[in-house]
Chains A and B, each alone.
Chain A
Amino acid sequence: GAGVSQSPSNKVTEKGKDVELRCDPISGHTALYWYRQSLGQGLEFLIYFQGNSAPDKSGLPSDRFSAERTGGSVSTLTIQRTQQEDSAVYLCASSLRGGGSGANVLTFGAGSRLTVL
């Protein structure tokens, strides 16, 4: 697609429920990133995909969080047994290839705002 698409844009759930957040990156972008942004905070790195592989999952806050990417395209971030502290905006970004370089600008989606009651 023309940009990075994320769904849902807003999700309100009850504590203890599972949620799935979806990211559809720009076509042809091999690298995909998930970040989390809490109110008034900076972006917190969660996980990075190069193709379908996730070389580094160290940013995931707990084992309740998991992510997968299929076909080198769409990614799903799953949060099990949600807690109130999971409330945040979950941002997905993609880039042509991995690595922080000028030729590798991240394009972000509009985010999925998660509210856990």
Chain B
Amino acid sequence: GQNIDQPTEMTATEGAIVQINCTYQTSGFNGLFWYQQHAGEAPTFLSYNVLDGLEEKGRFSSFLSRSKGYSYLLLKELQMKDSASYLCAGSPPGDYKLSFGAGTTVTVRA
């Protein structure tokens, strides 16, 4: 199956670091995507990992371990504007659609 699990909610303080974990049970994904979705808006692409390891992109980093079916999104130096839902997604090789997790709502407090 393609069950994708991530925590429902996380709260952190402005300037802090938050790590959002995502686990999946599948025969294999092409890679693992992270999208950000602000309330009432469209999801927007954040990152894509196809190889194991850490990909750093400014304040956001994403990690993938294909053998463990595990990924995380690391948000550093949190800002109020980072309050949003973060969606983990993947698709099996040869498939054409992304399967999404339910999303993790991150609330950044002053």
A binds B: yes
Chain A residues with a Cβ under 8 A of chain B:
4, 31, 33, 35, 40-43, 45, 48, 50, 55-56, 59, 91, 98-102, 105-111
Which applies to chain A's interface (DSSP): helix, strand, loop or mixed?
loop
Q: Which residues of B contact A111 (CB under 8 A)?
A: 42
| Most chain B CB neighbours (cut-off 10 Å) among A4, A91, A101 | A101
B87 adjacent to A101 (CB under 8 Å): no
B42 adjacent to A100 (CB under 8 Å): no
- The contact size tier of chain B is 20 to 34
Which applies to chain B's interface (DSSP): helix, strand, loop or mixed?
loop
Extra inter-chain contacts (15) besides given A98-B96, A100-B90, A102-B50, CB under 8 Å: A31-B96, A41-B102, A42-B87, A42-B100, A43-B87, A43-B89, A43-B100, A45-B98, A45-B99, A91-B42, A99-B91, A100-B30, A100-B92, A102-B48, A111-B42
| Most chain A CB neighbours (cut-off 10 Å) among B43, B94, B99 | B43
